[in-house]
C-alpha cells in the first residue's frame, strides 16, 4: 500500500497522540475519521478540523470504510478491541499502533489477526506531560523518533507504508528495530528514566525545597509527573527488560557511591570523565 491521497485513515483513540496524528494527516489533505469513547473529544476534533467524521460506536459500516487504522489506545484496551471488532476491517487494510512496548503486543496481535489484513507495529517516541485531544499538537513529532518494529509476518510493502506514515507525520527520524531490540532500548531510555525520576521525586515531602531548586532537579523530575495507569501497564508489559535495566543502573550508581565512600578521587573522576565523554554524543546539533 502506498499512502497516496485517496487513502483514508481511521484513528482509534483520540487522545494526545491519536489527536496529533489526526491533525497532521488532515493538514496534509487526507481524509481522517475517528472512533473514541468520548463525544466531547470527537466534537473538539471536528471543530478543529483534525477529523472529518467521528463516532463513539464501533460499527462495521464505519470501520470498513478505512484503509489505514491507527490504534492509539492503552495496550490491553487495544488487544480487546481487536478481539471484538477485527471482523469489521476492510480486506487489505493496514493496521498499526502507537504502543510504547512491542514484544508483548506485536506477536499477540499478529497471531490473532485475520490473514487478509496486516499489522505493523510502530512507536512514535513523542509525548507531553499533558493528555487528551485538547492538547494534540503535531509539532511534538518534529524533533522526535518514530520506530517501526516489523516481524517475519510482515510484508515489505506493509513495513514501507508504516515507515512512510512516520515520515508523513513529520518525525525527524524513522528507524526500524525488532520488537525485542525496541523493548531493550525503550526499557533503558524511557522506562528506566521514568523510574529514576519517580524515585527521586518521592524521596522527600519536598514542598519547601522549591525555594532552593535549580534546573538540575527540575530537569531530572520533569517526567515524574506521570500517568500512573498508562505507565504502570507499560512497565509490567516490559517487566523483564525493565528490571534488568534497573539493575544495571543500581550497579553503576553503587560504583560511584563506593568511590565516594572511599574518597577514591581517581575512581570518581574516571567515572565522571566517561560520563562527560558519552554525553557529548547526545548534544543536540
Nearer Cβ to a second copy, position 39 or 254? Answer: 254
Residue 50 or 146 with smaller CB distance to a second copy: 146
Contacts (Cβ under 8 Å, ≥6 apart) of 67:
1, 7, 8, 9, 90, 92, 93, 94
Q: Which residue has the cell 534497573?
A: 246
User: Residue 252 CB, nearest distance to a second copy (Å)?
Assistant: 4
Nearest distance in Å: CB 184, a second copy: 10
Report how far residue 230's alpha carbon sits from residue 253's, in angstroms, rounded to the nearest whole number: 27
Distance CA 137, CA 217 (A): 27
Nearer to a second copy, 60 or 218 (CB): 218
CB atoms within 10 A of CB 12: 24
Which cell is 90 given? Answer: 476492510
CA 52 from chain center: how many Å?
Answer: 25
CB-CB neighbours of 158 under 10 Å: 20
DSSP string of 79-133, one letter each residue = HHHHHHHGGGSPTT-EEEE--S--HHHHHHHHHHS-TTSEEEEEEEE---S--SG
Shortest distance, CB of residue 134 to a second copy, whole angstroms? 18
Closest CB to a second copy among residues 60, 128 = 128
Query: Given the complex with a second copy, which of 27 and 129 has the nearer CB atom?
Result: 129
Name the nearest CA neighbour of 129 among 194, 207, 210. Answer: 194
Residue 174 phi, psi dihedral angles, 5° rounding = -120, 120
Half-sphere exposure of 285 (CA within 13 A, CB side): 2
Closer residue to a second copy, CB minimum distance, 85 or 217: 217
Cβ-based nearer residue to a second copy, 37 or 76: 76
What is the enclosing helix (H) or strand (E) of 148? strand 145-149
Amino acid at each position: 500500500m502506498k499512502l497516496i491521497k485517496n487513502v483514508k485513515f481511521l484513528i482509534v483513540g483520540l487522545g494526545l497522540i491519536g489527536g496529533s496524528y489526526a491533525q497532521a494527516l488532515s493538514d496534509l489533505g487526507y481524509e481522517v475519521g475517528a472512533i473514541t469513547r468520548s463525544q466531547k473529544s470527537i466534537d473538539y476534533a471536528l471543530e478543529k478540523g483534525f477529523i472529518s467524521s467521528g463516532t463513539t460506536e464501533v460499527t462495521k459500516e464505519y470501520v470498513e470504510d478505512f484503509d489505514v487504522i491507527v490504534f492509539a489506545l492503552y495496550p490491553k484496551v487495544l488487544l480487546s478491541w481487536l478481539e471484538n471488532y477485527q471482523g469489521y476491517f476492510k480486506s487489505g487494510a493496514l493496521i498499526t499502533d502507537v504502543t510504547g512496548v512491542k514484544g508483548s503486543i506485536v506477536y499477540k496481535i499478529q497471531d490473532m489477526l485475520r490473514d487478509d489484513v496486516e499489522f505493523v507495529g510502530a512507536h512514535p517516541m513523542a509525548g507531553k506531560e499533558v493528555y487528551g485531544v485538547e492538547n494534540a499538537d503535531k509539532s511534538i513529532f518534529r524533533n522526535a523518533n518514530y520506530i517501526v518494529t516489523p516481524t517475519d509476518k510482515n510484508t515489505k510493502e506493509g513495513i514501507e507504508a508504516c515507515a512512510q506514515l512516520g515520515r508523513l507525520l513529520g518525525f525527524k527520524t524513522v528507524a526500524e528495530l525488532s520488537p525485542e531490540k525496541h523493548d531493550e532500548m525503550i526499557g533503558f531510555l524511557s522506562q528506566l528514566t521514568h523510574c529514576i525520576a519517580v524515585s527521586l521525586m518521592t524521596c522527600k515531602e519536598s514542598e519547601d525545597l522549591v525555594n532552593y531548586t535549580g534546573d538540575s532537579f527540575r530537569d531530572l523530575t520533569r517526567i515524574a509527573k506521570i500517568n500512573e495507569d498508562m505507565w504502570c501497564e507499560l512497565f509490567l508489559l516490559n517487566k523483564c527488560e525493565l528490571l534488568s535495566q534497573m539493575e544495571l543502573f543500581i550497579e553503576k550508581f553503587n560504583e560511584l557511591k563506593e568511590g565516594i565512600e572511599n574518597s577514591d578521587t581517581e575512581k570518581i573522576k574516571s567515572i565522571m570523565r566517561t560520563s562527560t565523554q558519552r554525553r557529548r554524543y547526545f548534544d543536540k546539533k
